[in-house]
Amino acid sequence: MSQFDYLATHSDCSRPGVTRLVFSERDVEARAVLKDWMRQAGLTVREDVMGNTFGRWEGSDSGAGTVMTGSHSDTVVLGGPYDGALGVVGGIAAVNTLRKLGFKPAKSIEAIMFTTEEASRFSIPCLGSQGMTGFLEPEVLDTFKDENGTSFLEAANAVGFSAKTAQEYADKALLKNPGDIAAFVELHIEQGPALEAEGKDIGIVEAIMAPSLVRIKFTGKGGHGGGMPMSYRNDPSLAASELALRIEEAALATGAPETVATVGLWDQQPNIYNAVPRSVLLDIDIRDSDKARRDGVIKKTLDAAEEIAEKRKCGHTKELKFEYPVANCDEKVLTAIQNAADLVGAKSKRMISRAYHDSAFMAQIAPTAMIFVPSKNGLSHHPDEHTAPEDLARGVQVLALTLAQLAGP
């Protein structure tokens, strides 16, 4: 608990929130702390070109492959102390515990910290794990900018990562021997209400929903908020409002609780009380456990944007910024987690992850599954994110016992 508290002090907001965007000063500090904790746990630390960081414990059988565990160290703006941090701090703790108990793994074990799982700075998630697994389109490292117009490439260079081009980052981050990964396991808070509501201790994640980001911009003439009569206006904020309601309707119309759509970012210019806005940019998060169903909502969103822009005589642009597949987890890893949960007497359930994770990409190249622990009131990406200490500890125990089974004596 003191490690989580200490990590949370490396933040650009006051507690209880945590704000640690990738390659900010606070993130660079947190990376140093986590590398230190890896070394103190007896692990050999290496870092790749994008800042993905690996703490390695060599197994007795050098040809048997590697069992990996980990998560991310960055947070959203005004996030909490456990999203990502649990899987990194808990991963190191699980490995450290096995070492202290005298466990001798046949396979090597690595605790990982991935670079920027959150899309908060560059509007695109999981850059580190995408790079490792070959999903990264290099140009996003140049073309996706933060709110100050800085790209990943520039931000990475500024904190000492030395690749000169986006292509060089992508080429060097790609894992050279993906076949060497015997399994990947990620410990994470649920970030939703199911475990708490059902009185379960551990979620065993068998699939991760397919996320996507649609960006729509409406434009209009603007004008004075008093001077301009209603009949003269083509107000893009009204087009955006109408679209938001249409998106809700499209998500509800599937009838599936797994379909979710959120108009999470509104950037209105100008944003003052007495001017008619001239532009509104929307970033829309659309996800589902069924890719075809999700794609249906994306299509309705794009079609509605066009129709509304025409009706309201606004300009508009639309862009599908990213869309990723559903990730299916591996039965062997799921069984190991189930055994571990049973061993500690945890009440467990199989479930899907509604949030995305680095596991979504690792699952495309290696046998993967996730361990969830409850989130109080289902909250995450929120300053009040909380998980009880005994739930955090149980998650680490289940992770340690899972790694032990997968790495073998």
Q: Which positions touch ligand GLV (CB under 6 A)? A: 118, 355-356
Q: Kindly list the distances between the CA atom of residue 197 and the CA atoms of 173, 194, 383, in Å, as whole numbers in the listed order.
A: 40, 5, 21
Joined tokens for residue 163:
């690749």
| Per CB under 5 A, 84 contacts Mn ion | yes
Residues 322-361 that bind Mn ion (CB under 5 A): 355, 357
Non-local CB neighbours of 241 within 8 Å, separated by 6+ positions: none
Q: Is residue 403 exposed (0-12), middle (13-18) or buried (19+ Cβ within 10 Å)? A: buried
Smallest distance, ligand GLV to C-beta of residue 120, A: 9
| Per CB under 5 A, 83 contacts Mn ion | yes
| DSSP conformation letters of 193-240 | SHHHHHT-SEEEEEEE-B-EEEEEEEE---EETTTS-GGG---HHHHH
Closest by CA position to 386, among listed 2, 80, 3:
80
Smallest distance, ligand GLV to C-beta of residue 122, A: 14
From the list Mn ion, ligand GLV, none, partner contacted by residue 55 (C-beta under 5 to 8 A by kind): none
From the list ligand GLV, Mn ion, none, partner contacted by residue 121 (C-beta under 5 to 8 A by kind): none
Which residue, 83 or 391, is less far from ligand GLV as judged by CB? Answer: 83
| Per CB under 5 A, 22 contacts Mn ion | no
Closest by CA position to 16, among listed 377, 387, 383, 386:
383
At residue 270, φ and ψ (nearest 5 deg) are: -75, 165
Smallest distance, ligand GLV to C-beta of residue 385, A: 11
Which residue, 192 or 367, is less far from Mn ion as judged by CB? Answer: 192
Which residue, 11 or 397, is less far from ligand GLV as judged by CB? Answer: 11
Would strands 202-208 and 348-353 be described as parallel, antiparallel, or unpaired? Answer: parallel
From the list Mn ion, ligand GLV, none, partner contacted by residue 27 (C-beta under 5 to 8 A by kind): none
From the list ligand GLV, Mn ion, none, partner contacted by residue 84 (C-beta under 5 to 8 A by kind): Mn ion
Smallest distance, ligand GLV to C-beta of residue 372, A: 13
The CB-nearest residue to ligand GLV is: 355
Smallest distance, ligand GLV to C-beta of residue 404, A: 28
| Per CB under 5 A, 206 contacts Mn ion | no
Question: Amino acid identity of 356?
Answer: Y
Radius of gyration for the alpha carbons in the chain, expressed in angstroms and rounded: 22
| Per CB under 5 A, 209 contacts Mn ion | no
Q: Which residue has the tokens 């571990």?
A: 340
Smallest distance, ligand GLV to C-beta of residue 356, A: 4
| Calpha distance 10→88 (Å, rounded) | 15
Helix (H) or strand (E) holding 98: helix 85-100
Choose the stretch contacting Mn ion; rule: CB under 5 A; options: 47-55, 80-88, 338-346, 364-372: 80-88
Smallest distance, ligand GLV to C-beta of residue 189, A: 11
Which residue, 356 or 372, is less far from ligand GLV as judged by CB? Answer: 356
Applying CB under 5 A, the site for Mn ion has a residue count of: 4
